[in-house]
Structure 1
Amino acid sequence: MESFIIEAKGVTYVSGKVPPPSASRTGAKDISYERGRFRYLDSHFGGTDFLGQEVVWQDEIPVWAMNYYGRILDAERFDGGRAGTVIKQALTALYQEKRFLGGFTYLHPLGEYVDQSVGDYRSFLGIERIRMGERVVYQLDYQGGLIKP
C-alpha cells in the first residue's frame, strides 16, 4: 500500500494534474488516481491557506487517510504561487526516493523546503516548512495512517 500512496501522490498534485470542475463537496478541489484494487483522492479547500484530506480505498473500503492544513506565514515576502513551485519540486524529489515521510530538505532558489515527521505510513505526524533565510514563510501540518474497522 505504501508504494501505491507514493505513486498516487507523484501523479496527482505534484505532476500538475488539474482538478476537474466537479468535486465531491461544494467548494472542494479533488484530484484522483486509480490503479488495480486501489483508489486515491486528494480533496482540499482554499488556496493560499488551505485544508485537505487524502484517502486510499482498497476494493472500495477506506484503508488509509491523511489530513493537512497549510498556510502562508509571511504574505509580504512569499505567496501561494511560489510555495507551490517549491513544494512540487521538493516533493517530486522526495517521491523519487520512493518515500513520502521522514526528514527531508530541498534547496530551491525561492526557499528551503524542510519536512520533518515521526512514524511511518501506518501512523504518522509531520510538518513541512519553507524558509527564506531564517524566516519560516510557509507551513503545513499533517497527520494520518491506516484506517481500521
Structure 2
Amino acid sequence: MVEFEKGDFLTFLLEAKRHTYAALGDAASVRPVLPGSRQLEWRDRAWLYRDIYFGMAFFVGQEVVSWQAQPVWSMAYAGGVIEELGGQAEKVGTIYAFLRRALRQVSAELPFRGPACWEEQDWRYINRVEGNLEVFQGEEEITAAGTVLYRLRYCGGFLR
C-alpha cells in the first residue's frame, strides 16, 4: 500500500467534497470517462478525488481518492428522492439544493457526507453513520415538515 499521512488525506477529502458537488452540483462535472455518467474531480499535488455517478432523481455512484495515482480510499452510494417526486424536476432541484448546502457542512468528525443533523426552516438533514474512515456505512435522509423526501445509503473505507 502507498504510504501517506492520514491527516493530509482528511484535509484533502474535506476540501474535495466542499469544492465539487456540494459547491457546484452537476455543473462541476468534467468530461466523464463512462458514457451517461457525471464525473467530478478535485486535485491537489499528488492527491486526486474522483466522483462518478449515474442518474438524477435516483442515482448510484462512487468516490475514489488516489494518492500518487494509486487508489487508497473509496465510498459507494445510492439513493435519491422518493419515487413520487422523481418526475417533478423543480421539487427535485429544490431538494438537491438543500442537500448541497448540508454537504458543505462536512467536518473532520463526519467526513463521509454532511453533519449528523442540519436544519434550515422546516427542512432537516439527518446523517447516521457507523465506523470511521477505515471502514464505514451510513445513511442520510432529508425531510420537510416531517415528510421524508430523500434517502441515500453509503459505505466504504481505506483500500487494502
The interval holding the TM-score normalised by the smaller chain is: 0.7 to 0.9
Aligned match of 1:67 in 43, 63, 76?
A: 76
Distance 1:7 1:18 in 2: 14
List aligned pairs for 1:127-146, cutoff 5 A: 127-146=139-158
Are 1:15 and 2:26 counterparts? no
SS at match of 1:94: coil
Give the number of equivalent residue pairs: 146
Query: Contact 1:48/1:79 (CA < 8 Å) preserved in 2?
Result: no
How far the C-alpha of 1:93 sits from its partner, in A, is: 2.1
Shift of residue 94, structure 1, vs aligned partner: 2.8
1:69–1:75 distance in 2 versus 1, CA, 3 Å: same
Does 2:122 correspond to 1:113? no
Q: Report the CA distance between 1:110 and its aligned residue.
A: 6.0
SS at structure 1 position matched to 2:105 = helix
SS at match of 1:3: helix
- The offset of 1:121, in angstroms, is 1.3
CA RMSD of aligned residues (A): 2.2
**Rounded Cα–Cα distance in structure 2 between residues aligned with 1:44 and 1:88:** 15
Same amino acid, percent of matched pairs: 27
Instruction: Supply the distance in 1 between the matched residues of 2:69 and 2:63 (Cα, whole angstroms).
Output: 15
What is the deviation of 1:99?
4.1
| Residue in structure 1 matching 2:39, options 25, 30, 40 | 30
Trace 1:66-85 onto structure 2 (pairs within 5 A).
Answer: 66-73=75-82, 74-75=84-85, 79-85=91-97
Give the aligned residue type for 1:75: L
Which structure: greater helix fraction?
2
Q: Distance in 1 between matches of 2:60 and 2:91?
A: 16
Gaps of 5+ in 2: 1-8
Q: State the SS of the aligned residue for 2:95.
A: helix
Supply the distance in 2 between the matched residues of 1:122 and 1:139 (Cα, whole angstroms): 24
For structure 1, which runs of at least 5 residues remain unmatched after alignment? none
Change (3 A) 1:60 1:34: same
1:50 to 35, 51, 59: 59
